[in-house]
Amino acid sequence: MNSFTLDPALSRDTIEIMKLELCYLGLMNDKRYPWLILVPMRAEMVELIDLQPEDQQQLLTEINQVSHLLQSVFSPHKLNIATLGNMVRQLHIHIIARDQTDPAWPGPIWGIGSAQPYNKDEADSIIARLTTRLMS
Amino acid sequence: MNSFTLDPALSRDTIEIMKLELCYLGLMNDKRYPWLILVPMRAEMVELIDLQPEDQQQLLTEINQVSHLLQSVFSPHKLNIATLGNMVRQLHIHIIARDQTDPAWPGPIWGIGSAQPYNKDEADSIIARLTTRLMS
């Protein structure tokens, strides 16, 4: 039985873009960076190696899909991909489009300053751009 | 032609453990954390999506192998896995065994304080432990 529920902190901090085959795809509600989160919709996963091999394969496919998405929409200088989970243990993967002008560059983005939430128009606009590209 | 050479910063900051099928496996010379680095031995790779699909598959295999290695040797509270590349562009993957008592917990480890290099005996000892487990 797969009784997946999204961790409350991930639910609070992200805006749902769509559900992929394996993962919930969310936009981190922080307009300082184009910052997406993939959460495999499997119960009680903490580490990457907790996933079944076929789910790991699908996760890799979705990481590639989201990486290409961010490259095509934002043309970043660098992608950052990470699974940390020190604070939120539910397995989740950060994929962030980094630029040399962003406020944390060249350091990592976690723990730097405070999130700047999108207003509704901004969120609608970026999610529309991402969804359109994902469906194309 | 594959004219791979390890980036000078990665060469300076790591101690070679061994070469796996795809990746150079190095120990970050910082005894504050059990911190390993995988570097696919392919020329001019920057992003994960630059790798050919078969190399991505092998990288996933080696990430799993190194994750199990760190779990079995150090029993960490959490593994952190990341490819950032903001400072060193050559594609490399960090796999770090994190504990709630380590100096950066619960934050990420990058950019926190200064590396504490192993002395020769310490480095020999940890590399022997890792290598023995890898070969078993």
Nearest-CA neighbor of B57 among A70, A47, A65, A61? A61
Tell me the shortest Cα–Cα distance from A121 to chain B, in angstroms.
30
Neighbour count for residue A78 (Cβ, 10 Å): 19
pLDDT higher than 90, residue B136 = no
Mean pLDDT of A25-53: 98
| B29 and chain A in contact, CB less than 8 A | no
Query: Which one of B45, B46, B49 would you mutate to disrupt binding with A, by most A Cβ within 10 Å of its Cβ?
Result: B49
Our CA-based measurement puts residue B70 at a distance from the nearest CA of chain A, in whole angstroms, of 12
Q: Which residues of B touch A56 (CB under 8 A)?
A: 60, 64
Query: What DSSP string describes A56-111?
Result: HHHHHHHHHHHHHHHHHHH--SEEEEEE--SS--S--EEEEEE-TTSTTTTS-STT
Strand partners, B83: A81
- Amino acid sitting at position A108: P
Residues B8-135: name the CATH superfamily.
HIT-like (3.30.428.10)
Mean pLDDT of A105-115: 94
Please check the confidence at residue A1 and state whether its pLDDT lies above 60: no
pTM, two decimal places: 0.97
Q: Work out the average pLDDT over A76-101.
A: 98
Question: In this model, does residue B119 exceed pLDDT 70?
Answer: yes
What's the pLDDT tens digit per position in A52-88? 999 999 999 999 999 999 999 999 999 999 999 999 9
ipTM over 0.90: yes
Distance from CA of A82 to the nearest CA of B (A): 4
| pLDDT of B1 over the 80 cut | no
Measured between alpha carbons, how far is A48 from A100 in angstroms, rounded to an integer? 29
Which one has a higher pLDDT value, A99 or A136?
A99
Domain boundaries, chain B: 8-135
B60 vs A: CB within 8 A: yes
